[in-house]
């Protein structure tokens, strides 16, 4: 996988679902359900004890997907994620050692920013793609428009507070590369083994995205 592959996938389906699992088998089933719905850029979040194991199994078993690590808080987690097969790294905040680990590993990084000051720091570190988090609480679409007007060569991936109801609004902002979200992998559906619901939510998100981007 290279940067162009990730870019082209996100252009086709600009939505990145979050996978949180305690069991690699559940993570794989969830990933397959998302891929079946048309979403092939997946973020396995490091929020469980088995997260790195889940990441490894999804990355090695779901060949149709580009799999990254999310909620990466430290340099050590970043390096372990790369060892587990992460093709990109997502962080809730902007922490320079994580940036450096991703750059040294040759993978894309989406560090979280919520203010103009954090975005300016990221820009001066050479980053041209930033996660906007938590999107809903940090100003939503109006804030993204303001940041995009200033940081004109930066693309943003808003995450937090996004769902099918407002996805089109976010994707309508020119500076938005893609949106991330956990609404696509509801815990109750996964606990019940209802992966058809996950696929249906992914299919709906792809349809909304194509409508918002005029590619449908």
Superfamily name with CATH number, domain 3-210 = Aldolase class I (3.20.20.70)
More confident residue, 7 or 204: 204
**Beta strands 15-19 and 179-181, pairing class:** parallel
The residue annotated as part of the active site, out of 29, 80, 118, 131, is 131
User: For residues 162 and 135, is the Cβ–Cβ distance under 8 A?
Assistant: yes
* Main-chain phi, psi angles of 199, to 5 degrees: -60, -40
Active site residue 131: yes
In this prediction, residue 23 carries a pLDDT of 98
The residue annotated as part of the active site, out of 11, 29, 43, 75, is 43
- Chain-centroid distance of CA 29 in Å reads 18
In this prediction, residue 1 carries a pLDDT of 47
Q: Where are the domains of the chain?
A: 3-210
- pLDDT exceeds 70 at position 75: yes
Q: What single DSSP character describes residue 110?
A: E
In this prediction, residue 4 carries a pLDDT of 79
With bands split at pLDDT 50, 70 and 90, how would you rate the model's confidence at 210?
very high
pTM: 0.96
- pLDDT exceeds 60 at position 123: yes
- How much is the average pLDDT of 98-103? 97
Share of the chain above pLDDT 90, in %: 95
- pLDDT exceeds 80 at position 2: no
Peptide bond preceding 134 in cis form (omega within 30 of 0): yes
Measured CA to CA, the distance from residue 145 to residue 111 in angstroms comes to 18
- How much is the average pLDDT of 36-41? 98
- pLDDT exceeds 80 at position 216: no
- How much is the average pLDDT of 190-211? 98
pLDDT tens column, 124-161: 999 999 999 999 999 999 999 999 999 999 999 999 99
Active site residue 22: no
In this prediction, residue 215 carries a pLDDT of 76
Measured CA to CA, the distance from residue 54 to residue 32 in angstroms comes to 13
């Amino acid at each position: 996988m290279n940067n162009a592959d990730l870019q082209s996938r996100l252009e086709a389906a600009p939505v990145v679902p979050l996978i949180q699992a305690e069991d690699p088998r559940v993570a794989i089933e969830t990933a397959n359900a998302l891929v079946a719905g048309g979403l092939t850029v997946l973020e396995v979040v490091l929020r469980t004890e088995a997260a790195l194991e889940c990441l490894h199994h999804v990355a090695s078993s779901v060949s149709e997907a580009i799999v990254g690590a999310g909620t990466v808080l430290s340099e050590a987690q970043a390096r372990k994620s790369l060892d587990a097969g992460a093709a990109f790294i997502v962080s809730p905040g902007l922490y320079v050692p994580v940036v450096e680990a991703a750059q040294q590993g040759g993978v894309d990084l989406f560090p979280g920013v919520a203010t103009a000051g954090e975005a300016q720091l990221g820009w001066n570190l050479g980053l041209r793609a930033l996660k906007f988090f938590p999107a809903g609480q940090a100003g939503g679409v109006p804030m993204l428009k303001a940041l995009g007007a200033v940081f004109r060569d930066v693309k943003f991936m808003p995450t937090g507070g996004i769902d099918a109801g407002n996805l089109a609004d976010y994707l309508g902002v020119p500076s938005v590369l893609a949106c991330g979200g956990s609404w696509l992998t509801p815990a109750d559906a996964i606990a019940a083994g209802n992966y058809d619901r996950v696929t249906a939510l992914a299919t709906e998100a792809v349809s909304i995205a194509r409508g918002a981007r005029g590619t449908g």
